[in-house]
Amino acid sequence: MNVTVQSLTPCKKLVRVEVEAAKVDETFEAVFKDFRREASLPGFRPGKVPREMLLRIYEKDIAEETKRKLIKETYRKAIEEQKLDVVTPPDIEEIQFSRGQPLVYNATLETAPEFELPEYKGLPVKREVRAVTEADVEKALNLLREQRATYEKRERPLQTGDIAVVNYQGTCDGRPITEIAPTAKGLTEQKDFWVQTQPDSFIPGFAAQLLGAKAGDRRTVTVDFPADFVTSQLAGRKGVYEVEVVEVKERVIPPLDDELAKGYGAETLAKLTDGVREDLENELKYKQKQALRDELLRTLLGRVTFDLPETAVTRETSNVVYDLVQENAKRGVSRQVIEQQKDQIYTIASQNAKERVKLQFLLQKIAEKEDIKVSTEEINQRLGYLAQLYQIPVGKVAKDLQKRDGLIEIYDQIMNQKVIKLLEDNARIEDVQPVTPLPAEAPAAPPG
């Protein structure tokens, strides 16, 4: 077997493999014997079909199986012989194949980038010294109060902060809104619709024109749909609403007392306060740890530059785009708005994907240098955790992961965590006074 390697880019290789004609014929005969052993034709016992008849019927199938076996076997040997660290499946192009002649094929593939590891121990990072304050605790307790708010009917004019329960019908240019925007049924007519009397509630300017109204009052409300209104057919237009106020409701927030505490499972307000403080302290520790890790990884990424495999970046970009779209959808962003922002989403995703892929190669190389491994026991522990989290048997978790090569992802997750722990343990940490808010999440988290 003769193998030559040509570099197309720093991470893309063209591997040309030539297999001797004798090996081709030898493999063809071995495959032929397998077919003959299994072949069953009328009038012949298995294994006794004449060679000429078997070749006449199955020669094409035998040749395809011969080629498949040869490429599979020789490709693996070629990669091992050339010591190539392949990161994507090869694109195989057949150049020549027939009995009595050498098999020649090209394999286009991508390999892991080659680079020298930067110094990764003693990375300088700054840790902002923060503490949970009484104001933080008070703010959290007030949020808990607001979550237990009730809405009580009031026999008085509508005030700022109240809820107006209304019936309405809307028109635009003298026509029902659905004639202009067929999908905007909710903007055309609603019964018992709750509108909070705040400036930006519902359609800008709508709620303010209801102030002072009582139950049973009717008002004509005019609005200007914003230029960036979610329903594009209405953007920049004027709307007219005939509104009937059905009911006035006041938002009532309960007092901060033992009764409120019991609603959250605490015996007293003091115990609720202690629990809130502990939760805030745990959250702060987690965010500080995340911020420290983020800075460590950004510092590490900035210390080395190397080319990345295009396929790996493209695949990871698709993953990030999917995550961003799902996140926006959960936040209530419409499909139309997401479509309008697709270029911006792709740009963000592409940059994020490059950082993730680069970081993955860096962490993997550090793991190799430090001889960091992941044991079967550690993988089983992670599978047990996932089984408990999703309330399904461990065996099913393992089987589902195997179907999509998810066990490799689990391995990488655990390995990444070990390497990051190594970076943290060896970092040069400087405590400083806080100057910026803690980041909400890691900008360059490794895949998984």
The stretch 136-163 carries a mean pLDDT of 95
Strands 103-110 and 12-19: antiparallel
**Full-model pTM:** 0.74
Using CB atoms within 10 Å of the CB of residue 38, give its burial: 0 to 12 exposed, 13 to 18 middle, 19+ buried: exposed
Checking if the pLDDT of 337 tops 90, the result is: no
Higher pLDDT, 38 or 145: 145
Query: CATH top-level class for 2-110?
Result: alpha beta
Checking if the pLDDT of 405 tops 90, the result is: no
DSSP strands (E only) in 129-263: 150-153, 163-172, 175-176, 189-196, 218-224, 238-252
Checking if the pLDDT of 101 tops 90, the result is: yes
| Banded model confidence at residue 210, pLDDT cuts 50, 70, 90 | very high
Is the distance from CB of 270 to CB of 413 less than 8 angstroms? no
| Banded model confidence at residue 443, pLDDT cuts 50, 70, 90 | very low
Closest CA to 225 of 208, 199, 205, 196: 205
Task: Determine the straight-line distance between the first and last CA of the chain, rounded to whole angstroms.
Answer: 40
Q: What is the pLDDT of residue 448?
A: 44
**Per-residue CA distances from 36 to 16, 29, 30, 181 (Å):** 33, 10, 10, 70
| Banded model confidence at residue 47, pLDDT cuts 50, 70, 90 | low
Q: What is the pLDDT of residue 39?
A: 75
Q: What is the pLDDT of residue 58?
A: 84
The chain-wide mean pLDDT, for the chain, equals: 91
The stretch 275-302 carries a mean pLDDT of 95
Q: What is the pLDDT of residue 55?
A: 87
d(CA 26, CA 23): 5
d(CA 112, CA 110): 7
| Banded model confidence at residue 305, pLDDT cuts 50, 70, 90 | very high
d(CA 263, CA 125): 43
Query: CATH top-level class for 262-432?
Result: mainly alpha
pLDDT tens readout for residues 341-396: 888 889 999 999 999 999 999 999 999 999 999 999 999 999 999 999 999 999 89
Question: Considering the chain, what percentage of its residues have pLDDT values greater than 90?
Answer: 77
d(CA 266, CA 417): 36
Q: What is the pLDDT of residue 330?
A: 83
Closest CA to 356 of 443, 415, 262, 238: 443
Exposure string (b/e) for 178-203, b if CB count within 10 Å is 16 or more? bebbeebeebbbbeeeebebeeeebb
Q: What is the pLDDT of residue 444?
A: 47
The stretch 3-17 carries a mean pLDDT of 96
The stretch 114-142 carries a mean pLDDT of 94
pLDDT tens readout for residues 431-442: 998 876 554 444
The stretch 302-331 carries a mean pLDDT of 91
CA atoms within 13 A on the CB side of 355: 18
Closest CA to 204 of 239, 180, 248, 169: 239
Q: What is the pLDDT of residue 447?
A: 45
pLDDT tens readout for residues 84-96: 999 989 999 999 9
Tokens of 281: 């302290």
Is the distance from CB of 422 to CB of 372 less than 8 angstroms? yes
DSSP alpha helix (H) spans, 129-265: 134-147, 177-180, 185-188, 258-263
Is the distance from CB of 298 to CB of 126 less than 8 angstroms? no
d(CA 261, CA 272): 6
Handedness of CA 58, 60, 66, 68 (dihedral sign): negative
d(CA 32, CA 54): 9
Higher pLDDT, 150 or 58: 150
Query: CATH top-level class for 150-252?
Result: alpha beta
Domain ranges of the chain: 2-110, 150-252, 262-432
Q: DSSP per residue over 99-125, as a string?
A: TTS-EEEEEEEEBPPP-PPPP-TT-EE
